Structure 1
């Protein structure tokens, strides 16, 4: 089972890294398209759109960064032998919860706390 879990976590990590690369390309495209334009964010309606798109991309990049940290932490717990144990109470995390959320750190009972 640890090998299956490691494989799944590494696949999630690879997906997140691919997403990060794609978002970086999207941001580069956005910056490049705005470079030659005469954009005044305060007075140009299109400027608001570009600023919004840039903020949206920044948010997505931050979300992927958090996801990578969660996956790396789960891999660390796997190496330490604590993966699948609730960090609050120490009890095993239900396998169905781990199947749905492989980076979970708490059991369902402690998830809302």
Structure 2
């Protein structure tokens, strides 16, 4: 199946290909959110069962760092999920593949690499 071409209206086969890619990425991202949520819950649970003093206990700083790192990864995964959902909405509305800043088409290569891309390469820089 051919890569989608930006600028021209999407054919039914291009739309199906994009929907499949977005669906795969969404499923992967949902799994990542679930795993990170479990990880964060485990870190929080472990830290509540141990009395740590971040300032004086060397493990306290490590636990705080690990918790912050997993929380940041979880935030990013949730943002990615929102971007993918937005891409689905745009695909359904017929506005998928247009840069949100300049309105120009997003290159097919960029959409192939990042199906939820919201801007063209020029505006992303």
Question: TM-score normalized by structure 2?
Answer: 0.82
| CA shift for structure 1 position 69 | 1.0
Moved over 4 A (4+): none
List alignment gaps of at least 5 residues for structure 2: 1-13
State yes or no: 1:3 paired with 2:13. no
Is the counterpart of residue 18 in structure 1 residue 1 in structure 2?
no
How many residue pairs align between the two structures? 112
Q: Which moved more, 1:76-85 or 1:37-46?
A: 37-46
Task: Give distance in 1, aligned partners of 2:33 and 2:52.
Answer: 27
Specify which structure has the bigger relative contact order, considering alpha-carbon pairs within 8 angstroms and separated by 6 or more residues.
2
Unaligned runs of 5+ in 1: none
The worse-fitting range, judged by mean Cα deviation, of 65-74 and 86-95 is 86-95
TM-score, normalised to structure 1, is 0.90
Q: 1:89 corresponds to which residue?
A: 102
Query: Considering only aligned residues, what root-mean-square deviation do their CA atoms show, in Å?
Result: 1.3
Match of 1:73 among 72, 86, 89: 86
Give the secondary-structure state (helix, strand or coil) at the position aligned to 1:105.
coil
Matches within 5 A, 1:30-41: 30-41=43-54
